[in-house]
Structure 1
Amino acid sequence: MSSRIVLLLLSFLSVASSSRGNGELEILLTLAENLHSSALPNPFSTWTPSSSSSPCDFDGVACNPSGSVTRIDLSGRSLSGTLNFTSLCSLPSLEMLALSFNSLSGSVPADLDRCSKLRYLDLGNNDFSGSFPDIPSLGELQYLYVNKSGFTGGFPWGSLVNMKKLVILSVGDNNFDDSPFPEEVLELMDLNWLYLSNCSIQGMIPPGVGKLTKLANLELSMNSITGEIPKEMGNLVNLWQLELYKNGLTGKFPAGMRNLTKLENFDASLNYLEGDLSELKYLTNLVSLQLYMNDFSGEIPAEFGSFQKLVNLSLYANRLTGPLPEMLGSWAEFDFIDVSENFLTGTIPPYMCQRGKMTELLVLQNKLSGNIPATYSNCTTLTRFRVSNNSLTGVVPPGIWGLPNVNIIDLDSNQLDGGVTPDIQNAKSLDQLFIANNKFSGELPVEISKARSLVAVDLSNNGFSGRLPQSIGELKQLSSLHLENNMFSGSIPESLGSCDSVSAVNMANNSLSGEMPPSLGSLPVLNSLNLSNNRLSGPIPSSLSSLRLSLLDLSNNRLTGQIPVSLSIQAYNGSFSGNPGLCSYTISSFQRCSFHLGMSKDMRKLIVCFVLLAVLLGISIGLYVCLNRRERAHERSLKEESWDMKSFQVLSFTEDEILDSIKPENLIGRGGSGNVYRVVLDNGKELAVKHIRNAADCYGQKKTQSTAPILGTRAKRSREFDSEAETLSSIRHVNVVKLYCSITSDDSSLLVYEYLPNGSLWDRLHTSRKMELDWETRYEVAVEAAKGLEYLHHGCERPVLHRDVKSSNILLDQHFKPRIADFGLAKILQNSGGKDSTHIIAGTHGYIAPEYGYTNKVNEKSDVYSFGVVLMELVTGKRPIEAEFGESKDIVSWISSMLETKNKHPELSRLKNTRGLQGGCHQSAESCNPLHWDTS
């Protein structure tokens, strides 16, 4: 009888277990139906609904001995979709739910509170929306991770009252509502790990934090915490890591900080802390210490030199004085030091690379003296060597020039002497060489051409002499070359014309001689050329006419012959002075060219050959007439044409006043669709006129769609002209350039605008006309230009797309108020839902939205992207495309890397006004150099 009862009971338990297993199987299969994974292998490949299936066999699932699901861990499985927490919380024994590092979306409902047996909940690093629910029933929780999961609203801090067992609480990197430091956290006495960074905490750190004595990690960074660090922080003697960077903390380190002797990683950068660092000299286990961009003063404790674990030290942009400890970094595999922008004295510690692991030595803008230690000649791991703006002396150890992994050597503004040694041929990774403002001398070694990663070279203001290496053309990535104020002699290497990436060349104030190589005119992106104050002779190469230079200076040489007509414009006034052998047909300050002076010997020979050939071959009369007519059509004055004037505003000038002013001496710029002239009316009013000459055939007529010329028919004007006139004539906004009228003929088209005396924003940020723009002015330019763009997109009857928004198309009036200009590429959207497409990619490289480039789809967002690039120019002073960004990189990818790379780059918005911004930060300030910014 008893055996029957036992068998019956076992049978009942088996059925119950099977029933429970089938129920949990259905729950998990339902979970899998709502989720998708792009991972290989797919975690759901084992989740199959067969009669023999048990959820305990599923990948990522674990069960207790009775077969009930206790753990679901699908972290980092590339999951997307939404979760059904009502179903999940029906699993009666579920203790662990880990779904972090996926792309889960949707909201997390209050049903999560039904998972009352959970001890481990990890929803971190996902894309949820809405607020995180109140979960007071989860009193068994020991681990709660909801960091960086997309949650908004207010976090239910009150739920923590019931979670006395919490060991880890990680809720940072969410856009929660602003709140003070949660008092509920201070009652969680078992906390070992508290991550509250970047979750909108305001106010002061409460003294009660000192009760959490089991804490090993405390992270409160990137909030709005103010006030002083409480002295009770010294009670947290088990801290291994303390992160307080990027807050508003003030005051000094409290006396209790010395008790944190287990601390290895400490970052309080980007605050307003002051006082000295003496309280930290007891923290002998420090591995990484980062306190940059505060207001610390006094000396760096000598004890730091004996810290045997220290590998990272970043103290830049403070007011520290005194020497660096001599033995600093010599005990461990030291990684980097950045103490730039302080007032440090003494010498560079010699042993920081003693273990051969150092990557960055950054001590620029201090008052350091003495020699560069020879020990760094063998530090082959170095990637950045920056010691500029100090008082260093002596010869640079030869091995420094040839460090194989170094990206930047910056010795600018010291008192170093000697020369660049042939070792530089080993610097295969070197892309920036800044050694200006020293006492270097001797010849530049030919081996520099072997450092083929060079992008920027600045050797200016030294005593270099001798000839420039003829092989310099091997530097195919070279973007800027500054050799001014030296004693270089000989000719300019012809091979320089092979450096297709070079945009700026300055060789002023040397003793260069010989003729200018015509190959300079073949440089496709050359923007600035200064060869003034040398001994150059011969003619100005006609090939320079093809360049679009923002700066050209050939003054004070021995040049002869004619100044090319295309270079005889107002923008280059003064560029040719001090060359008495030059002549010009248009510049009155030079002697007028005669036939003999205006043509070279080769040109005269060529003309003679053509004449003889014409006589011998008997050129046809018809061809001669055709060519003659074409020349007469180009040479006739504009006033001989028949014009049609169409006004869009009330005018105070006549057609003749405009036509009389279209002459070379009034030329102020060249655009993609025409030349621009400055016109001064009789009443003193200034105007800007764009002149677009229509292409003509042999008979001086515009080509039409017909294959035969139709005499007496007005030709179609250029597409750019029609677009700009149509667009601007209908626009009335204070931040869009004003179009007064159009004047058209069969051969030419004129657009008459208001004149903006301060030129373009590009000029003020990047060219020789750049000037200091304070942050208030930059802000006003950004806001007002945005208003103009917003009007084009939303204030017109139909949205107007500019399609070429860039800083050179934002003009500035006398008060630096911006106007959006140049609508040659504008496109008025049709009634197609705000979308359109084009077969031609309009715009300028560096400003074009990526999706426009590969889809040909254009809408308002394309302009907004381009305007975002302009904003980045305003903030950083950088061009959209800079060599220092890296190959195929633009300012957008560069700034993205600045913001995303932890412990490398500070937020751009923290750039200080005191850094003397002039189209960007001062070149000697490492913290203003994008290659330097070191923070998270």
Structure 2
Amino acid sequence: MTLWTFQCLLTRFASHTAAAETAPNDFSALSSLKDTWKNTPPDWEGSDPCGDGWDGIKCTKSRVTSITLSGVGLTGQLTGDIGSLTELNILDLSYNKGLTGPLPASIGSLKMLNTLILVGCDFTGSIPDEIGNLRQLVYLSLNSNRFSGPIPRSIGNLSKLYWLDLADNQLDGIIPVSSGTNPGLDMLNHTKHFHFGKNKLTGNIPPELFSSDMALIHVLFESNQLSGSIPSTLGNVTTLEVVRLDNNSLTGRVPENLNNLNHVRELFLSNNKLSGPLPDLSKMNSLNYLDMSNNGFEQSDFPLWLTTLQSLTTIMMENTQLQGEVPSSLFSLANLQTVVLKNNELNGTLDVRTSKGGKLRRIDLQNNHISELKPQDEPSGVTIILVKNLICEDTEAADAAYCKIPQPNVSNPILQNNCQPISCNKPDQVSSPNCVCAYPYTGAFSFRAPSFSDLGNGTYFLILRDSLMKSFAAQLLPVDSVSLSNPTRDSYHYLILNLSVFPSSQEQFNRTGISSIGFLLSNQTFKPPKEFGPFVFKGDPYRYFEDNSESSKSLNMGIIIGAVVGGSVLLVLLVLAGVYAFCQKRRADRAIGQSNPFGRWDTKESNSGIPQLKATKKFSFQELQKCTKNFSRENDIGTGGYGKVYLGTLPSGQRIAIKRAQKESKQGQLEFKAEIELLSRVHHKNLVSLVGFCFEREEQMLVYEYVPKGSLKDAISGKSGIRLDWIRRLKVALGAARGLAYLHELADPPIIHRDIKSNNILLDERLNAKVSDFGLSKPMLDSEKDHITTQVKGTMGYLDPEYYMSQQLTEKSDVYSFGVLMLELITARKPIERGKYIVKLVRNAIDKSKELYGLHELVDSAIGLGSTLMGFEKFVDLAMSCLQEAGPDRPKMSDAVKEIESILLLAGSNPNAESASTSASFEELSKGSSHHPYGNDSFDCSTSTSKN
């Protein structure tokens, strides 16, 4: 370091000292938060957050006025010290799932706060009454947490409130309105958004809640426990655009004056107990989406006023007591996309006359009395479903397409890349729409009331993408491109859409970029096209920050301070030289250690600081080369995503399967070491054992026990020449379940397999099942007892939809995959075959009033249909339980083990008895055949010669 450089550093230090400006109370509050939270930004150092520009902190003069730290991985609790930041205007901590505990009452001390956004955290407890002290508050978003208790009456004091979102919590009690001196939500005349869906609110919807003075545009009360009638005062709020009252227990007639709401685009009244005549909504000219299904309306003819609403895209009137003929003019509505009129009393002739260039795609009239379908002049591209109508009882029409339930379209219409996607070498990197490898910021939109139902129309999503990019550009955010994918409807009728945002001119975002993107989406700065309606975004934790060397910065500052105090330039130079030499030595040692992470392993000596690899051997490259005749083609017994598998035999006579990684699939050295340590700790008769490994000559090889009868997939497909009867399939399911239960509950740490499928269940010589291929497995550490947030990996068809949507991995994701495996065992069908998903296929076909639940046509003929399949229905019940949409509703694997054991007992077989390979529970159909999924010959390491 030159004297000039040292003088520059001194000058820099002096300038920072002079610029120190953070008020002491604010610094103390931030310091307390820093001490309480984990994963705070690394530049939260020093005594001047304002002057030093701490990430996420903005100041005006000496006071902290903004904290925006969305999606940066904070964990811990929001302590009462937050109340000391009395000049704070904005607090956004959204998408930090690790933020837990109650919201402190001191939040009410932030009298200058205008924006409070805590979306998608894990706060619990009641919302404090003190929140009513925040008289400047404009945005209040506490949705997607675990708040419980009542909605505070004091929120009625927030006269400037524009946005109120309390949805997706566990709030209970009534909707509060003012009474005497007590405030209530009816006082919020300037608020435009009441978002209270997905809670446990009870009681009636108070008539006092609504008035003509209100500016409400969204009333979202869906999926609560509300009762009583719909108040007629709702019809006085003529500014309304979206009304969701569905999935409650509302009774009585629909108020006639709802017809006055001529700005409403989406109206959801379904799944209540509404009665009386079907309401006349003929004046609601803006209506796009109407859902009145599953109520107790009086029987009536099809309402002709529906044919006059030219904006309609979607009509959902299932089980609404409709009768008579459906007017042909209905299908001529220019914007109509979907018509669902299932479970009514409609009859006569169906005449589908679509307008030229019409958008109609689906007409569902299941379970009515339609007797005739008028032939169309030309193909219209409309899917018509008339299952369980009179027309389908005619034998001549029984095979017609409209007499069958079509398989759902699983295609993804969204946004092709602008170029040829490239392969990314770094783990977790993704090729962007502009074909640049990067670490995107990901999450999922939930659009709560979209005005369209045709998810196959990519035009909507192109418009949304362009709108997003314009918003990012307007805020000068470092975004290169965005990707939208997998549009689906969930059980709440929300449109779920995955989002990936890619950084511009770099591989990853910094914390400021992530927080800025999160803030734009959490505080509704981004306004989606009107077709998408109200939304909430749930961001995933971002784990790819590339931090500057803050420790180096701190070290330099420490040296400068020492120099100032000591006053000796020479001394500082000597200290720096010593520190530099020490750091260089440490860096060299670390580089050596990383180049050979196995160097300190000793599988023989007992040392508490060294991983103990039980029964796991480190093989030399030469040993395995001899075992495989120099990895010859004749020893090649399989290929997977990891690489090739070779067969060999150890000098002891034990046969082994050697997985040799291809260059492009090799892990980092430390990751490979970690996987070996993990696998060496699991030992169970229903798990394929790791015998050893080889890490030499840049090779990565795993050595497993050889399992001779190949994979379950080959067995049930007939490829391996093995036939499995009902008892043997039950025992295979039991073995796989026991292996998984061991991983989940007895391994230390517990392990989630993440890739359960028939190809990864191997059969030994006695046809016992062994779970294999732990390449995607994840250990469940103490800090991750609830879930692991990770990039989605697995095999399509077996993949847990909840894990796919949330990227939150739990052991219940394995349970879902096991449920798919169970259906594969009884049907011998692939999970996705010719566009048909086995789960939906079975779910739609189940009829519990029939033998074998009516699944005769789906059951594999090789299972032994001629015999009695004892326990079959219980097996199907267990499979469907494993396939529940929500993870908590699925059984644990240990419970699945107990249930399969009881099924085996019911079928007359001992669940703990192994059957020999010559038993009647299977037969080899191709005896003497040379085909085998692993190959035929083994090669003894001690005798085979290598070809070099």
Assess same fold via TM > 0.5.
no
Larger Rg: 1
TM bucket (normalised to shorter chain) is: 0.3 to 0.5
Query: TM-score normalised to the size of structure 1?
Result: 0.43
Query: TM-score normalised to the size of structure 2?
Result: 0.43
Which of 1 and 2 has higher RCO (CA within 8 Å, sep 6+)?
2
